[in-house]
Amino acid sequence: MKKSLASASGKPRQALIEQLRELMAEISVRKLCALLNITRHWYSQHHRPSLNEDHDRSLCQALQELRKDVAGPGSRRMTKARKPDGWKITHKRVERLMHQAGLTCRRKTRYVHTTDCKHGEPVSPNLIKDLPIESLNQCWVADLT
Task: Please report, in tens digits, the pLDDT of each residue of the chain (145 residues total).
Answer: 444 555 555 667 777 777 877 887 788 878 888 888 888 888 777 766 566 777 888 888 888 888 887 777 788 888 888 888 888 888 898 888 888 888 887 777 888 877 777 888 888 888 888 888 899 998 888 877 5
Cβ atoms of 34 and 43 within 8 Å: the answer is no
Nearest Cα residue to 76 out of 94, 58, 62, 88: 94
Q: Say how far apart CA 14 and CA 34 lie, in whole Å.
A: 15
| % helix, strand, coil for the chain, step of 5 | 50, 0, 50
Task: Find, among 53, 38, 123, 98, the residue nearest to 20 by Cα.
Answer: 38
End-to-end CA distance of the chain: 73
Burial category of 100 from C-beta neighbours within 10 Å (exposed 0-12, middle 13-18, buried 19 and up):
exposed
| pTM summary value | 0.44
Calpha distance 4→18 (Å, rounded) = 15
Angle at 55 between CA 107 and CA 106, to 5 degrees: 5
